[in-house]
Amino acid sequence: MEKHTDVICPFCGTLCDDIEVHVEKGRVMEALNACKLGNAKFMSMNKKHRHLVPMVREGDGFVETTIEDAVERVARMLLDAKRPLLYGWATTECEAQSVGIELAEEVGGVVDSCASVCHGPSVLAIQDVGFPSVTLGEVKNRADLDIYWGSNPMHAHPRHMSRYSRYPRGYFRERGQQDRTVIVIDVRRTDTAGIADKFLQVSPGDDYELVNAFRTLLNDGDIPDEVAGVAKKDIEGALELMKTCQFGMLFFGVGLTMSPGKHRNIDNAISLVIDLNKYTKFSLMPMRGHYNVTGFSEVLTWQSGFPFGVDYTRGYPQYNPGETTSVELLSRGEVDAVFVVGSDPAANFPKKAVEHLAKIPSAVIEPHETPTTYLCDLKIPSAIAGIEVAGTAYRMDNVPIRVRKIMDPPAGLYSDREILKMILEKVREIKNGA
Ligand code: SF4
């Protein structure tokens, strides 16, 4: 049996780096230290529903094809389309993302990631008002107050609190939990709220008003007896904890980015953190979901100047979220082919967007069967980045981490990066009249 230590978990944006994986005869036997979600990802290596050959839709079903044929079909689909959408990218490594962006530019398409349906508003707000940045290591060693707003790490990032906020001992937090206070702000009493020291239940859609209430009190104003469903005394109590802590941290999730106000909520939250820095050290961080959604924004910014929703149809990058982002493009029927890599839009996009996706030519690179693989016309299986392929991923605090290869993929499977390179070469070959 092979024992691999200090393996990175390629599931959520926490990118835990202490997993011990036991592999025997090409099967994962155990993934020690991983949470339930991470464990499921490592164990998915062994699952029967993993597809192993490219399949193309024929009639009501799929038939097997070769990788060469699949590559040519994707290349021709992208070239035949007037405005193809290349979407996903959050669950693959940066090196593959880089080739995918080059491909989007070559075919004159739109390239967008899952950020446009999760933390895109955070990115917009950061561009508006800046961002006091900090690493998770600093949070672990210094933070004595952690706030989770619109985020439920007990379910979405299960080891986040044990590694960085609620429980760990840090350099300046030697007593661990006893040295730390946790506040949860959410529309319902989540499991994370259950282990917090203070819980504020905000009325759905009223997050902006609650941020404003904190800022008003902080800047010597007054507020009514209740704001956004929270009593004034509870707002004052939470604010006192914020002002008097030594190092405060605001972690925010899609409960804040996707509730009414969207990026204005984050603008306001960043402004609150800036206000709090008049009293103490305070910072904030988005709770990024997929393990390398942060990396895609980095790579796209290096290559195009913009972090998500980039349209190359005019031959140069254009960026206008709401106009050049996937859900809107699909819902309005403004793209005529879709190529999905490392994502499952059919499972989480609005109905209208998925209906259009089902009508137009489509292809997907994906290791497992998903709702999207059932909808698409062509599915290409790939090796799993971070387990069967090494590469770079960015943790939620923008720290790049090298994810490792710990086992070989099943015979005949290529990495996302290799498949994308083959498609890019084929596109260039066809354009050159070969
Ligand atoms: S918290 Fe996230 S990165 Fe850590 S083991 Fe769980 S799923 Fe993997």
Sketch out the chain's domains with CATH numbers.
2-42 (no CATH), 51-118+291-431 (3.40.50.740), 120-286 (3.40.228.10)
pLDDT at residue 45, as a whole number: 79
Ligand 1 proximal residues by C-beta, below 6 Å: 9, 11-12, 14-16, 34-35, 37-38, 157-159
- Check residue 74 and report its DSSP letter: H
Protein residue closest via CA to atom 4 of ligand 1: 16
Provide the 3-class DSSP secondary structure of residue 346: helix
pLDDT at residue 434, as a whole number: 66
Q: Give distance in angstroms: CA of 35 to centre of ligand 1.
A: 6
Task: List pLDDT tens digits, range 240-288.
Answer: 999 999 999 999 999 998 888 888 899 999 999 999 999 999 999 999 9
Closest CA to 83 of 347, 355, 328: 328
Closest CA to 161 of 173, 142, 148: 148
Cα–Cα distance between 262 and 198 in angstroms, integer? 25
Exposure letters 299-324 (e unless 16+ CB within 10 A, then b):
bbeebbebbbbbbbbeeebbbebeeb
Task: List pLDDT tens digits, range 361-419.
Answer: 999 999 989 999 999 999 999 999 999 999 999 999 999 999 999 999 999 999 999 99
Closest ligand 1 atom, CA of 34?
Answer: 5
Q: Give distance in angstroms: CA of 277 to centre of ligand 1.
A: 31
pLDDT at residue 78, as a whole number: 98
| Positions in the chain short of pLDDT 70 | 47, 434
Q: Which helix (H) or strand (E) holds 23?
A: strand 19-24
Closest CA to 354 of 364, 363, 344: 344
Contact at 8 Å (CB) between 218 and 180?
no
Tokens of 31: 């993934």
Tokens of 281: 């050290």
Contact at 8 Å (CB) between 51 and 374?
no
Closest ligand 1 atom, CA of 12?
Answer: 2
Protein residue closest via CA to atom 7 of ligand 1: 38
Closest ligand 1 atom, CA of 8?
Answer: 3
Closest ligand 1 atom, CA of 157?
Answer: 1
pLDDT at residue 339, as a whole number: 98
| 263-276 vs 207-218: helix crossing angle, rounded to 10 | 20
Q: Give distance in angstroms: CA of 32 to centre of ligand 1.
A: 11
Cα–Cα distance between 94 and 296 in angstroms, integer? 7
Q: Give distance in angstroms: CA of 133 to centre of ligand 1.
A: 22
Q: Give distance in angstroms: CA of 169 to centre of ligand 1.
A: 19
Q: Residues near 311 by Cβ (< 8 Å), separated by ≥ 6?
A: 110, 317, 318, 319, 320, 323, 324
Q: Give distance in angstroms: CA of 211 to centre of ligand 1.
A: 30
Protein residue closest via CA to atom 8 of ligand 1: 38
Closest ligand 1 atom, CA of 39?
Answer: 5
Protein residue closest via CA to atom 2 of ligand 1: 12
Q: Give distance in angstroms: CA of 317 to centre of ligand 1.
A: 34
